[in-house]
Structure 1
Amino acid sequence: MIRVALPLALLLASCAPQASTAYPTVSVGDLNTAVGQGQVVLDVRTPAKFTEGHIASAVNLPLDQVQARAAEVPSGQPVYVICRSGARSAQASAILKKAGKDVRNVGTGMNDWIATGYPVIR
């Protein structure tokens, strides 16, 4: 067996606590409850898709702008992130979590919101 000595700094770095990049994924039912409580909802679809139908209280912040505008997202409260199916909202949630935001990814997105019969603004 060959043993390789690691530099002390590398060993210490590997033991240091790491900031969590995990965020919860919630259902549209959870989102509906949050909307009723006045929680912040970010819709990360394109402006064109947003205008085709969105949650009344949602704010449109397209995925390609999330990194640059993360400071505009409220801190100290849950922020629910939604897209069409959950893929872009997961990406946005990861970006916002790294920026220190308390995010909730809506895993099944607007597809499920609409299929469930929750209201949309067109």
Structure 2
Amino acid sequence: MAKNYWLMKVEPESYSIDDFERDKETAWEGVRNYQARNLLRDDIKKGDGVLFYASNADPTGVAGVAEVSRSGYPDHFSWDKKHHYFDPKSDPENPTWYMVDIKFIERFPAVVSLAELKTTKGLE
């Protein structure tokens, strides 16, 4: 079976490639979009590749690569009333939100722009 690759967007002021390289592994929590939630829950699997995309950065683009180290599981932060990602409608018995864990693989020497990605053979 072919390996899937996913683009995961990050706001560098919240969590940068520097933070990720230091931590080596992180939970990809706080996703509050239903379409993305479905991908996290149903499609993104351990071993899949991740393009670590820094948005609202200068420059904006892919800063490195990672690998999914744990397939989708319930985002327990949605049940923590003190957490930024708390959602009163989410229930541990029937979770609304999911997350995955990703591990750092490589930092690129230069950020790769979305335009470059779109014109790279094999990434159609």
Q: TM-score over 0.5 for the alignment?
A: no
In the superposition, the TM-score normalised over structure 1's length comes to 0.27
User: Radius of gyration: which is bigger?
Assistant: 1
**Structure showing the higher helix proportion among its residues:** 1
In the superposition, the TM-score normalised over structure 2's length comes to 0.26
